[in-house]
Every structure is written in structure tokens, then in C-alpha cells.
Structure 1
């Protein structure tokens, strides 16, 4: 990609340049799915947290850092999904959501709350003796499972934010999300003011929305007060209570609120709303979320990157214009974002899937399209992501489209996805060699896979055989920016003004 195209601003169909807040607020719905949270959790936590930040007098720069920390507080959530599902033999999203309502200090000790949580969540569909055996294995396992999973989540989130150039305050806020005021939190047992302020605000905002969504605002405030000085910063609790009394805390954040008003309210707080993103910055964001997607399962590690490299090589071999290659590359990086909704008990299952489990799998392209379509400039990317399992003869899913309904970009993405998947091991099979992959793909040409795409794969097979190559697929190192703090405005990206 030339330097001029990497600096180009991406515009939506109505001529408006896309901003960081628009992209992150849209992609945050994928993080909500991964955590099993009610859709819009990250946006509601962002509104609540920003109101708290203003109430305690944070500077404009600190509010900017807080805004991105709140939207992305769960960006490391997929890193422990496989381990969570394996330990509990249960859907990771369900366990993660219920995990927010228990006292984590008690989980490692024999007490009623810990026993109730474990018994309710370990192997819930198995017979009683299987459940007891699984609980015994958990108890006998070396180390502290809770601490290790929280640490994995915190470290992964901070590393992805650092990759995105979000800055030390935002990274520290996300890393310290699970610390507690009394020093009994994780991962570093920080005490009181040792916990970064943004982490303390994020923790309160997360608690308030999680409890309000499940039990109502009164219960959320009562539990917050009970945990003041134990889990939460007493000053932040008082700030939340003051806003609650003024009826200034919950607008657009209670169950039943209009999601369009929620989105509008969050975007109105975007510290980068007057700054458009360059093409290379958008690629970096897509790459960061590709990391989130690939971390969901050890069997899909680097799948998004491998698919993207394959798609770019195929596109170039077929002579696509650079602007079309850009579209294919971004769609490939994010094509499986809907897969974050699929429990690891299904993704990592070695046995054949049931009919009900296939229904869940077949829904992920729909969710990919729904999430990406929330970004106005991603309308075409969203369509491609939604079609990446379609086949020319209509035998694909989820829409059963036929060849005449599928663009060349869609056909390229499908071929790249299949090639990359066959290069990777899965719970039910080993990875295939390039020669074996070609033999299998050839059986699907021309009725299911596009012949021109297959010919392009053959022409670049030597390069495809060593995928994945780059951290940001299809981009040379000299076009990958070092994103640094720019002040003013309070915005981390070296973006072009509107």
C-alpha cells in the first residue's frame, strides 16, 4: 500500500469521515457477546463512567483516556474463554456473566457462596457424578484458577490496547479493572490509591451496569454502598450516590432504554469526534480486534490473520485495485467477529456437533454483519463478513445465496477462509498440507468455490504455505504507524482533521 493511500481518510456513504469512537462503540458489542453481557453493556458503562469522571473533576485528557478505557475494558475477555469453558465444562459466556455477581475472594475458600456458584455452573447438563468429578478436578488443580484467568484477561487487554496506541493511562485502567480497594483484588492486589484512578472508575461503572441490568438500579446502588471501602473507592461511591440522587446517573442506561439514544449519547462524548481516522489507523484497529477474535480458541489462533494474508494474496493475484484489496483485507480481519458469541464448549468440541450446536455456529456470520454494519463506513465490509460461508451453488450459510448474488470480493474471502481453516488444526482433525488442501478445494470447483479464486490460490501457493506473515496482514512495516499521545486534542491517534 502506498503512503498516500495509507494516509487517506475513510468516509461513509453520506460523506462523513469515520471516527475512532464510532468504530469502537460498534465493535464493543462483540465484547459484550464474549462476556455474556446484555447488548450495549460497554456503552452503558461508558456513559455511567464518564458521568462519574466529570463528577469528580477529571481533566479533559483524563476523560479522553477514560472514554476509551470504558469502551474497551473487556477487550482481553476472549483470552480466557477456552480455559473458562474447560474448567467449568459449561458455556464460557454464561459463567463469565454470573462471575460478575460473586465475591471472588470467596471462590477459593470453602463457604456457602462459593459452593453455590460452583455447583450452579460446573457441567450443568451432566449427571450428578460427572459434575462431582469435574468439581474435584477443579479443586485438585494446581494454582489459583480464578487469579490465573483474571491475570490472563488483564494482560491480554492491556497488550492489545498498547498495540492500538491508547497510552499508558488507558492501558493501566483496563489492566487494573479487577483490583479492589481493600487489596484483595487481582491481578496485583493493589490497595486503595495504588489502583489507577481510571481502573477504579471502570470497576464502579461495570458494577453499576451489570447489577442494574440484572437486578435494577436500586439493587445496584445498594450493593455499591455495601462494598464501599471494600471493593470500591469510597469517593467514587459517594460521587455515584450524588448523581443517583440528582437523577443524573442512569439516563439511557436502565433496561428498556432506547439503544439509538444510548449510541448517540456515547458518540456525543467521543473526544476524537472532530478528528477523522486515516486508513492505516483503521487497519490497526481491525488488527487489534482480529487478535481478540483469534484468542477465543486455541484452534483458531491466528485464523483471522491467516485468512487476511490469504485474501490479500488472492486479491493481488487476481488484479484487484488497491482500494478493493483494502476492503477485502478489513473484511477478512473482522469476518469472524460474530464467532465471539459461540461458546467454547462448541468451538473446542472434539465430537460431532448436534443440530442445536450447528444452529449456533450458523448464526455467527449474521452477528458479524450486524456488528460491523453499526459502523457507517463498514457497510460493504459487513456484507462480505456476513457472506464468508456462502457457496456458489447456494449450499452455504446463513443466507443460502447463489453465485450471481456473490461479488468477486465475497468469493475471494470465502476461498481465503476455507484455505486458512484447512491449514489449521481443529478439535476433530489435524491440519492439512498445501497439497492436501488443493486436492480438497479442487473438489468444490466450480460448483461451490470460484474457479478464478482457485487458480489464484494455485499461483500463490508457495506464499500461502507459510502464512500468517505479518502482524497487520497485507501491510508492509513502513506503513504501520507508531501511535502516540497527541495533545491537544485529547486523542491518541495521529489522525487527519475533518
Structure 2
């Protein structure tokens, strides 16, 4: 890789490894699926004779390839039920033949609903553009992964390899339908390793070899399948150990990329933006919480170093959201007891992921507290009183403030006045720390600014429309919200997509998140 390294700092591989754990959960896989896939791909690359630069491409492609698979989880849940179950089943199907993709879609439409409801979902799917949305999904995934790779400063070789991960040997893949030797070997290795890891975990070496042979010449390159089958026993050696974390970090080709302090912050911001794309109701949430918490920490008397740490914890506090399906996050009605328990686990999952990295674990210790309450009524551990540290109390107050200002599927957004009143009520009820709430409210009073120039030549009104599109509102709902006609909304959406170069909500959300537009205040809205 051409990029320079620095002596200190967090390894980029650690950060991507942590994020891969969230990707695992978002794909309906157990933690460390991607890590094991990475080891298999690297071992196979070495046996295939790839030189160190190519093996390094395999390494980063493995950790990045699936990172965009949650960006349209909202649409996946809308049509197919549990988005995590849908993606888990994806690896069990060889999409060869003219009807394979269509049958996969039909089989999953309306999953979890009654037969009558599934028919209704099917009709809505056809009428509501679901067919095109389904076709867009894989394209959205690799584009999102490419966007993250670019933001992390990874070079063109990695980005090209990530871009071809969903191509197939038989030419039936996406985005370009590349075929045979036109598909990069680095991409082919990652694609093969991804599938055989799943089958090996479920059925051992025989199952992994069996699926590779069945898909030889369709999804996978025959010569790589032959090599894999010959070396399978050695490729899977030691993968049954309790954790693959140390093995993956040790296997990184070369000296490894370490992030400077500024690069780490930029990388954490990119991760935060990607996590928030899990639901249209949370786009921009983590960055807004992080900024507010850092400002509040300064008002609260914490040191500048502590304020920086709080901000970083805020950027990653919702990593665990990836482990909860969108059928829960985007549910408009009351949650069941089981659904509530799954929600209550997401701070723990954030902490668990970050704990894999010694350098990032301190952020997890703060992040896990963002739903705890002073009286012990919070979650995931029901901590109370002195068990909550000042940074955790500030993060909890900042997260609550921002969440109540944002719309959720079961309620509208609150006004600044309403949210301030509710936060003070939480203090009186003994749930939030008074000093932390005062600091958050003081910080919030100095954050609002008016921007006069918007990216991609967007107008203030177009920014407003983009925010609502990213939240998942239909044209009719946007028209009602802004008190304009549906035709006008349609024109705005068309102009927005043209200006920012996208064609659907998921990619529009990615643009809005990357350019920090979700919490921007336009002159029209003041």
C-alpha cells in the first residue's frame, strides 16, 4: 500500500475488525464470521501464490466487503421481514439460472406475516417499486463499502477489489456483470471464503467442500475451487479457537497501517455515519450525540482530553444497533417484551465489539452507559449512582436529548422546548444527572447555526426534502410535512438525486450522512 504509517495510534485493522463484528450481526451471522473469512481468504491467497501487496488487498477487502449490507435494511425489512434473516439466507443460495433471484425474492416477501398479509405485501412490492429496490440492494452495498474505503484513505486497488466482490465467475453478478478472469482474483478469494466459512461452521469440512464444488463454474472460479478443496483441512486449521481476533491482526501482510489521532477521529466519524444508516430514523444521530456530548463535557468542567474521549465514545455508542433487526427499530407500534429485550441488548453489543480492541475498549466502557440511569432503571446492566462515571452520565443526557429531538416510528420529533422540559423532568425523577443535563442544555443552546452554501449545489429547501427522504418518508408525507404539493416534492427529489448522483433513498441517506446534513438547520426552518 502506498499510504505511510505512523509509529503510534490505533491500527486501521483494529477499527475495521471491530466494525466487522457489527457487520456479522447485521448479516445474521455470529460475531467473527468476517474475521474467520479473512483468515481463510488470506491462507488461500498465499497458496495461490499471491504476492504481499495482493494479499494486503485481500485482507482489507475481506474486512470491508460486507460493511454496506445494512444501508438499505429499512427497505429489506419493509418487504422481507427480518433483514438479518434475509441476509443470513443469502449465502445459502447459488443465484445461477434465470429464476433463482426471482424465487429468492418470492420466498422471502412478507416473511413473518400471515398468508393473507404476504399477498398484500407482494402486491405492494410490485406496485411500489420493490422490484427495482431489490435490484438496487447489492449495488447499494458495494457503493457504500467503496465510500467507506475512500473515507478511510484506502487505495484504488482495495476499492476495485471491494467493487467486484459481488461479481460471479459466470457473469451473473453485479455491478458490471464481469465474467471469468475479468473478475479480480482478490475479489474471488473473498467471495469464496465468505460462503465456505458459513457452511464449514454449520456442517464441517465436508459441507464447505461440497458447496464450493456445487458452485464451481457458476459463482466461483473452478481453479480456486480445486485449490480450496485440496487445501481445505489446512485452511480451516485453528479456526475453532475461542477468538480469531489476534490471529487476524497477526496475519495482516506488511507492517500494518496505523492511524494518527486526526485519522482516527475521521475514521470514527465515518463508522458513526455508516451505523446510523441502519434506520432512516437515526441518520446523523451518532455524530450529533458525539458533538453535543463533547461540548457538554467542556461545560461540565472535564478536561479537553476527556471531552475528546467522550466525543469518540459518542461516535461509536450505537454500534450495537446493527445487531437488532429493522422490524424492531422501525416498528410504528409498541414493542413486545421479547423485542424490548433485544433493544436493551444493543449497548452491551457496542461494548462487546469495542472490547476486542485494547485501544478502543475504553470507548466501549463509556458507550455502554448511554442508556443507564442514576436510579438503576436503565439498561443493559441497571447500573446506579456512583457506578456511572461523569463521561457516561454526559453521554446518556446527550443521547436522550438528541433522540427526543428526532422522529421515531412510534412518535414525532419533539421541539427544543419540549425536550428541555422532559430532560429536566428526568433530573427531578432521579434518572439523569442534573449537572450533566445542565451541561447538555447549555451546549445545545450554542450549537445551531445557519448554513448558506450547501454541497452539490443543493438549495435550503432541497436540504429539507433530502432530510425527510433519508428518514424514509414518502412523497405524500413530505408534502404534508412541508405543506407543499406532491408534484413539487417529486420535482425536488428528482433534482436532488440528479445533483448528488444517486437513484434511491439508501444512497441519498449516505450522502446526507457524509455531509452532516441530517441535523443541519436551514434558513427556511428557523
TM-score range, shorter chain: 0.7 to 0.9
CA–CA distance in structure 1, aligned partners of residues 256 and 409 of structure 2 = 47
Alpha-carbon distance in 2 for matches of 1:125, 1:82: 16
Alignment of 1:61-210 (within 5 A): 61-88=53-80, 90-105=81-96, 109=99, 115=103, 117-118=104-105, 121-142=108-129, 143-210=131-198
Give the superposed CA RMSD. Answer: 2.5
**Secondary structure of the residue that 2:332 maps to in structure 1?**
coil
Q: Say whether the 8 Å CA contact 1:46–1:205 is kept in structure 2.
A: yes
The offset of 1:140, in angstroms, is 4.7
Give CA-to-partner distance per residue, 1:360-390, whole Å, 9 cap, x none.
0001111111111111122321111111101
Given that 1:305 and 1:472 are in contact with CA atoms closer than 8 Å, whether structure 2 keeps it comes out as no
CA gap 1:386/1:472 in 2 versus in 1, 3 angstroms: farther
More contact order relative to length (CA 8 Å, sep ≥ 6): 1
Structure 1 residue 418, shift from structure 2 partner = 0.8
* 1:278 aligned partner: 260
Shift of 1:455: 2.0
Q: What residue number does 2:362 align with?
A: 380
- Would you say the 8 A contact 2:94–2:219 is kept in 1? no
Deviation at 1:264, TM superposition (A): 2.7
Q: 1:367: which partner in 2?
A: 349
CA contact (8 A) 1:309 1:467 kept: no
1:58 aligns to 2:46 (yes or no): no
Give yes or no for contact 1:284–1:472 (8 Å, CA) kept in 2.
Answer: no
For residue 431 of structure 1, give the secondary structure of its aligned residue in structure 2: coil
Q: Rate the CA distance shift 1:56–1:242 in 2: closer, same or farther, 3 A.
A: same
SS, match of residue 413 in structure 1 = helix
For residue 443 of structure 2, what is the aligned residue in structure 1? 460
- Residue 444 of structure 1 corresponds to 426
Is 1:421 aligned with 2:407? no
What secondary structure sits across from 2:427 in the alignment?
coil
SS of the equivalent of 1:77 reads coil
Contact 1:31/1:75 (<8 A) preserved: yes
Q: 2:389 aligns with which of 379, 403, 407?
A: 407
Kindly indicate whether residue 37 of structure 2 is the aligned counterpart of residue 45 of structure 1: yes
| Cα distance in 2, alignment partners of residues 385 and 378 from structure 1 | 11
C-alpha deviation, 1:102, in angstroms: 1.6
Does the 8 Å CA contact 1:38/1:213 hold for their aligned counterparts? Answer: no
Q: Out of 396-405 and 298-307, give the one that drifted further.
A: 396-405
**Using a 3 Å threshold, how does the CA distance of structure 1 residues 73 and 467 change in structure 2: closer, same or farther?**
farther
Determine if the alignment matches structure 1 residue 395 to structure 2 residue 377: yes
1:184–1:274: structure 2 CA closer, same or farther, 3 Å change rule?
A: closer
1:434 corresponds to which residue?
416
Change (3 A) 1:129 1:471: closer
Shift of 1:233: 1.9
1:248 maps to 234
User: Greater CA deviation, 389-398 or 462-471?
Assistant: 462-471
The aligned length equals 449
Q: Deviations over 1:276-322 (max 9, x none)?
A: 43222222332222122111000000111111111111112223212
Q: How do residues 326-365 of structure 1 correspond to structure 2 at under 5 angstroms?
A: 326-365=308-347
- The answer to whether the 8 Å contact 1:318/1:456 transfers is yes
Distance 1:288 1:295 in 2: 11
Asked whether the equivalents of residues 33 and 39 of structure 1 are also in contact (C-alpha less than 8 Å), the reply is yes
Aligned to 1:492: none
Give the TM-score, by structure 2 length.
0.80
Counterpart CA distance in 1 for 2:329 and 2:109 is 18
Give the match's secondary structure for 2:70.
Answer: helix
Q: Which runs of 5+ in 1 are unaligned?
A: 1-6, 11-17, 474-498
Q: 1:194 to 1:365 in 2, by over 3 A?
A: same
Give 1:45 shift: 0.7
